[in-house]
Structures are given as C-alpha cells and as structure tokens.
Amino acid sequence: MFDGLREKLGRFSDDVEEDVDEDTEEGRDTTSETDPAESAVTAPENGSEAETETESTTGTDSESATDTADGQADNGTPADESDRGIGERAKLFATGKTVIDEDDLQAHLDELEIALLSSDVEMSVAGEILDGVETNLVGETRRRLQSTGNLAQDALREALYDVISVGQFDFEQRIAEAEKPVVIVFTGVNGVGKTTTIAKLARYLEQHGYSSVLANGDTYRAGANEQLGEHAENLDVPYISHEQGGDPAAVIYDAVEYAEANDVDVVLGDTAGRLHTSEGLMDQLSKIDRVIDPDMTLFVDEAVAGQDAVTRASEFDDAAEIDGTILTKADADPQGGAAISIAHVTGKPILFLGIGQGYEHLDPFDPENVVDQLTLGE
C-alpha cells in the first residue's frame, strides 16, 4: 500500500543527508586549511610609519573604511555572506556540530513537492507538508555523529502526521457513548464500493459487540435492493427496503423505528450513488440530512481516485456535512494522495480503509501507522 509514494519520500531523506553531509565535509576542509594565526591583524613594527600613513588618509578613504566597518565592501556592496557562513560552519564544526540551512534544503524541497503532487496529493496539502518540513529542519543543529537523514525523516513524519490526523476521533468510543440507535448514513459516487463497505462495517460492529440493521436508501438504482439484501442475508442482519423510486428518507426513517423497537444498536443507511454535479440527487441527500439528522454521515470513495476523491469529498461535505471518510481499494493504491489529502481539505478524518473484498477487510485508519508506512516502510 502506497509503495510509490513511500519510495519517493525515502529518497528525500537520503538526498538531504547526502547533500548536508557534503557541505559539512567542505566546512571541515575549510577549517583545516585556514590557520587562525594567518588571519590575525599584525600591528606595524614602525609606529611612526603607521601614523604617517594614517595622517595621509583622505576623507573618501575614511568614508570607505567606515562603510567596511559597517559590513560593506569598498564598492558599497554587502560583505561576502558566504565567507561568514563558512566561518559559522567552522565554529560549529569545532564544537562537533553542524547546522542545516535553507540552501541545503531548497532543491530537495522542490523535488519533494514534485513527488507529492505526482502522487495525487492536493496542492494546498503539499504546500502545508513542505512548510512543516522546512520549519522543522531549517536551522536544526545536529551533532556530527547524528544522522541528517534521520532528522529529515523525523521532520517529514511530523509534517505528514499533522495533515493526515486532522479531525481524528475514536469511532468505537463515539458509538459506545452515543444514544442508541446510532444512525449512520453513507454517501458517495457510483461504483466505489459503498454498499460493500456498509456490509463490512456491519461485520466490524458485530465483532465489537454491536447489533445493526441495514437500510437501502438507494431507491434510485435498479438492483440495489437485491445487492444490499444479499449482504444482509450473508451477515444474518435485518434489512429494511422500499420499492424502487421510493423516498430514501422514508426508508431510513423506517429502519430507525425498527431499531428502536428491537433494541438494535446501529442503523446503517445506504444512499444512491451520485456525482457531486448531480443537483437533484445532492438535494435528496440534503433532505435525508434534514429529516433523519443522522449521528454520522460517512463519505465513501476509492483511494485510487486520488485528487478526484478529494474534490468529491469537499462537494459532498457542502451538500450534507460529512463526519468522516472511508477509502476503499487502499491496498491497490500505490500513491496515497487521497489518504494524505482528504482529512486536511475537509477537516474531517479518514476512519477506515478498505483493503480487500472480504467482509473482514476493513481496517480502522491509524494516522501514525500510515505515516510509519510512508516514511519507515513498516
């Protein structure tokens, strides 16, 4: 999972280490070649000659000397900053330390930006990651035996975690603390595995001690009743449906009443797959939100959809505020752009990853684990 992006991020840490360490070696060479005694100012042996030379200095020469003392060269341009930089590096090296500066990083940050964008990370999210890495690394002082690559890796991990973990909450804790029945409505576009995801979540809830009822609010698509009904039969859970073309809000409302009458813990309500540009269907989704007032609305999309999934998540959030996202086909996604971007763009967390076809193939989303996979290969 996310193999392509992991490889690109690994190259960033390796390249930063190689480049910074090369600069450190140059600093060491400069230190060893420069004799501090040679740079010391030697007082003139003949005091009278020095005085005569001083007296003959013109006003212009005095102004030039003043400029030089203020850090300006004789021609009025700034003194050589690179010389001062070398001096600072030399001092740090003498104490067994080196510093990472912006020049060391800029080319690598540019390459990191390309790597993120080419992995379908949304542009503003890529910018946030780059800012985080730069903030965490520029000016960082390390001991000579400390790995620059590890520092770069840690800075990248922290920046990634900050964008991936936005809005994160404990799904199981929310179910446990909510008044029953908990009503969860699922939204998303056609063909992303939404109905199968509902069935997977029913199995997940059962394994954690919660009963559920499935409700087919997808009254728009022919065959939707049969598809969700088959999952309900396989899982041995109750199932509520109406005729095709019926009111989706009425179906989910009936499921809530069934749950209340039969002490069922969670209502899982399917809705018609729709494009975010389908105005009528998006209005229908808004109606479900108003009538049912679900405890959670979860957006489902494919991890492999990348930036399209990010755009759709934002549009669905506008139509009926979502509480979180489930990404399907995460095991087939070599990039990871959607997983990195959606939480930051919507401000709502990714809660689960679909990683296969079986009912058991639904994993809770753990930001730390994902970041470890991307940066440590774990």
Which domains are present in the chain? Answer: 3-33+80-164 (1.20.120.140), 171-366 (3.40.50.300)
Query: What one-character DSSP code corresponds to residue 72?
Result: B
pLDDT one digit per residue (tens) for the chain, 378 residues: 778 788 888 777 676 666 555 544 444 444 444 444 444 444 444 444 444 444 444 444 444 444 444 444 445 445 444 444 555 554 444 444 455 666 667 888 888 899 899 888 999 999 999 999 888 777 655 444 345 557 778 888 899 999 999 999 999 999 999 999 999 999 988 889 999 999 999 999 999 999 999 999 887 776 778 888 999 999 999 999 887 777 888 999 999 999 999 999 999 999 877 665 566 667 777 788 888 889 999 999 999 988 888 988 888 888 778 999 999 999 888 888 888 999 999 999 999 999 988 999 999 999 998 898 888 765
pTM of the entire predicted model:
0.75
d(CA 134, CA 140): 10
Element (H, E) at 202: helix 194-207
Contact predicate 145/231, CB 8 Å: no
Q: Which residues pair with 300 in a beta bridge?
A: 188, 326
Ramachandran bin of 278, using left for φ above 0, alpha for ψ from -120 to 50, beta for the remaining angles: beta
Contact predicate 214/238, CB 8 Å: yes
Listing from the earlier edge strand, what are the strands of the sheet with 350-354?
239-240, 212-217, 266-271, 182-188, 296-302, 324-328, 350-354, 362-364
d(CA 121, CA 307): 7
Q: What are the backbone dihedrals phi and psi of residue 133, each rounded to the nearest 5 degrees, phi first?
A: -65, -45
